A and B are shown apart, each in its own frame.
Chain A
Amino acid sequence: MHEWALAESILTTAVEAAEKEKLKKIKNIKIAIGELQQIEHDIFKFALGEIIKLQGDKLKGVKTTIETEKSTLQCRNCEHKWSFSDIKKKLNNDEAEAVHFIPEVAFVHTRCPKCKSPDFEITKGRGVSIISITGEK
């Protein structure tokens, strides 16, 4: 599973941020998963758990919360707005899997539903990111 690589990036960044803020322990990490990346929470939680086991004291007992961020795509040409769920059913399995790995290939496999332009932007809900980290000094 490639989610492992992304989970590792979340935890590495959290530890780096904690070191910068001189936190002894990280208590909570709130994670956003963009709708476009289509990552299942259970798989991601499992990957996080496995990596936490291998990490040092800073992450011992950390609570991770995952939120799905709904996607918003907006056409630069006609300004129409839509979400990935509106168009996902038009993708075949290979195309949906490609977007799962690299969300930007949505520009390759989909078009603006209104004017058919490939020139749109992902304004919300792209991929994996950290919303907040809390801990104790």
Chain B
Amino acid sequence: MEARVSVIEKRLSNIKRIISVASGKGGVGKSLIASSLALNLSKKGYKVGLLDLDLYGPSSHIILGVKDVFPEEDKGIIPPNINGINFMSIVYFTKDKPSAFRGVDISNIIIELLAITQWGSLDYLIIDMPPGTGDETLDVIRLIKKSEFLVVTTPSKVAMGAVSKLLKILKELKIPITGVLENMVMTKSSFVKNQIKEMNLKYLGSISLDQHLEDSIGKTDKLLETDFMKELDKIINTIKL
């Protein structure tokens, strides 16, 4: 008999808000948005956790510059504090080696992480989701009942094609959607905004493509000073996240 699922709700019980940063499409900047959102909220004085659930291609640790740390044990595992963020990722255990997992293994890893991680009390837990509507998304919906979804897209019609599928399934399952954030905008267009409005969802705003963003990867003090972060900060303040 599976036992681990029974304690997941308890492990998350002292977290005020859980926001899964997701997209139907890869490469739209989910991890950057998730990490930057966690950093921004932490700098505002909130207690923030970040969980990287992109198990094949975790990247939040690269953005935050995490190196040579391992969770401590105390009635479970305690997420190491990285620049003010309580950060949990599979990389502590894979040592950043290539990770080939099948669906059943993905579910087992997610259940194990959720059952043994002691987050304590947090204002926000941000989850960096992998792209699509696969096992990870279905498991978050199944296991983390109080999660809402902040969905990221780019202005591309190709990205919106996949993103609208994720939005439709979340709507069908009546999962709370924080709204849709348009990232990497190069030229002004109302295409995404109109699509989101047609779906009766909240368009959170847009962030311009920041040519210098790459220089700040792994350096959180630099990341906080980027145009990308300034635009994200404006959106966070406007929507009163």
**Interface residues, chain A, with chain B CB atoms under 8 Å away:** 1-2, 4-6, 8-10, 12-14, 16-17, 94-95, 98, 101-105, 107-109, 118-119, 121-122, 126-131
Residues of A within 8 A of B104 (CB): 121
Contacts A126-B108, A130-B1 given: A101-B101 contact, CB under 8 Å?
no
Q: Tell me if B39 counts as interface (CB < 8 A to partner A).
A: no
> Interface size on B (CB < 8 Å)?
33
Residues of A within 8 A of B94 (CB): 98, 105, 108-109
Apart from A9-B5, A16-B6: 5 A-B pairs, beta carbons within 8 A: A13-B2, A98-B93, A102-B113, A108-B97, A109-B94
Contacts A101-B116, A102-B93, A102-B113 given: A119-B100 contact, CB under 8 Å?
yes
A118 and B77 contacting across the interface, CB-CB below 8 Å:
no
Residues of A within 8 A of B75 (CB): 1-2, 4-5, 8
CA–CA, A103 and B94, complex, Å: 11
Q: CB within 8 A of A13: which of B6, B112, B116? A: B6
Chain A nearest CB from B89 CB (Å) reads 11
B7 and A12 contacting across the interface, CB-CB below 8 Å:
yes
* A interface: dominant SS: helix
CA–CA, A13 and B6, complex, Å: 6
Chain B nearest CB from A105 CB (Å) reads 5
B97 and A103 contacting across the interface, CB-CB below 8 Å:
no
**Interface residues, chain B, with chain A CB atoms under 8 Å away:** 1-7, 10-11, 73, 75-77, 90, 92-95, 97-102, 104-105, 108-109, 112-113, 115-116, 118
Q: CB within 8 A of A4: which of B2, B76, B92, B113? A: B76
Chain B nearest CB from A48 CB (Å) reads 12
B6 and A2 contacting across the interface, CB-CB below 8 Å:
no
Residues of B within 8 A of A8 (CB): 7, 75
Residues of A within 8 A of B118 (CB): 5
A104 and B105 contacting across the interface, CB-CB below 8 Å:
yes
Q: Which B residue sits closest to A95, measured CB to CB?
A: B95
A127 and B1 contacting across the interface, CB-CB below 8 Å:
no
Chain B nearest CB from A21 CB (Å) reads 12
A108 and B98 contacting across the interface, CB-CB below 8 Å:
yes
CA–CA, A16 and B95, complex, Å: 37
A102 and B98 contacting across the interface, CB-CB below 8 Å:
no
Chain B nearest CB from A44 CB (Å) reads 12
Residues of A within 8 A of B113 (CB): 102
A9 and B4 contacting across the interface, CB-CB below 8 Å:
yes
B76 and A101 contacting across the interface, CB-CB below 8 Å:
no
Chain B nearest CB from A80 CB (Å) reads 17
